[in-house]
Amino acid sequence: MSERTKVDVTLAVNGRPYRVRVEPRRTLADTLRDDCGLTGTHLGCEHGVCGACTILADGQPVRACLMFAVQCEGMDLRTVEDLADGDRLHPIQQAFWDNHGLQCGFCTPGFLMLAAGYLEQNPDPDEDELRAVLSSNLCRCTGYQNILKSVRQAAEVMRA
């Protein structure tokens, strides 16, 4: 593709500006992964169903595979790389670790960001709400019960 068709975009990811030059059709997920080097955001389906690429855009969980990088200028983007504070895991990460909430770990960043976005706005969800929210992402390893347990524990810790 010739350089003419590319545009300059500045993305604010995890509080840091990334100046990238991308085709308008380039997805946010590909841009984060290949242009910003943030490969923690995973691509499981590229059609918006599995949720492995879930990140936070202005605090809302979104599918990074369904957005274009050029749409995201000016947004506050957060990815899984931003969750931990140095060596200290975020309560959601800690809870996934404590409760065996992951096996292969491929879907994990998406679930972590989904839960982070949701719990920041709904600190005290009931069981049904939580199940409804978590049903937006797919996991093929765990059968989900430890993911649910992990998010419940994280909610408690975050409220405390």
Partner 1 sequence: MSYVGSSVRRIEDRPLLTGKARFAADLCLPDQLHMRVVRSPVAHGRLLDIDTSEALAMDGVEAVWTREDIREVPPIDFRMPWVEGLERFRQPMLAGDHVRYVGEPVAIVLAEDPYLAEDAAELVFAGIDELDPVVDPVAAGPGAIETTVVEKAYGDLEEAFGDAPVVVEMELAVGRHSGVPMETRGALAHYDATRSVLEMFGAAKVPHHNRAAIASMLGLPLGAVVLREGHVGGGFGIRGELYPEDVLVCLAALRLGRPIRWVEDRREHMLAANHSRDQVHRIRAAVEPDGWIRGVIDEFWVDQGAYLRTHQVTVTELTTSMLPGPYAWPAYRSRGHVMLSNKTPCGTYRAPGRYESTFVRERLIDVIAHRIGLDSAEVRRRNLVLPERMPFKRGITALGTELTYDSGDYPGLLDRTLEYLDYELLTADLSRRRSDGESVGLGMGFFVEKSGLGPFDGVKVTVDEAGHVLVITGAASIGQGVETVLAQVCADTLGVGIESVRVRHGQTDDLAYGMGAFASRVTVMSGSATLIAARRVRRKALEVAAAVLEADPGDLTIDRGRVFVRGSAGGPAITLGEVAQRLRPGLTGGEPGLTAEGWFRADHMVYPYGVHAAVVRVDPDSGLVEVERLVVCYEVGKAVNPELVNGQIAGGAAQGIGGALLEDFAYDESGQPLAATFMDYLMPTIAEMPEVEVLLLEEAPSPLNPLGVKGAGEGGITAVGAAIANGVADALGCPEEVTRLPLGPERVRRIVRASLKGVSGVRPDPRFDPVS
Exactly one of 11, 13, 42, 155 binds partner 1 (CB under 8 A); which one? Answer: 42
- Would you count residue 56 as binding partner 1 (CB under 8 A)? no
**Given the complex with partner 1, which of 74 and 132 has the nearer CB atom?**
132
Exactly one of 7, 12, 66, 141 binds partner 1 (CB under 8 A); which one? Answer: 141
Inter-residue long-range contacts of 39-47, CB under 8 Å, 24+ positions, other chains counted: 40/79, 40/80, 40/81, 40/109, 41/79, 41/80, 41/109, 42/106, 42/107, 42/109, 42/110, 44/106, 44/107, 44/110, 44/138
Q: Which residues lie near partner 1 (CB under 8 A)?
A: 1-2, 23, 25-26, 33-34, 38-47, 49-50, 52, 79-81, 83-84, 89, 93, 96-98, 100, 102-109, 112, 131-132, 134-148
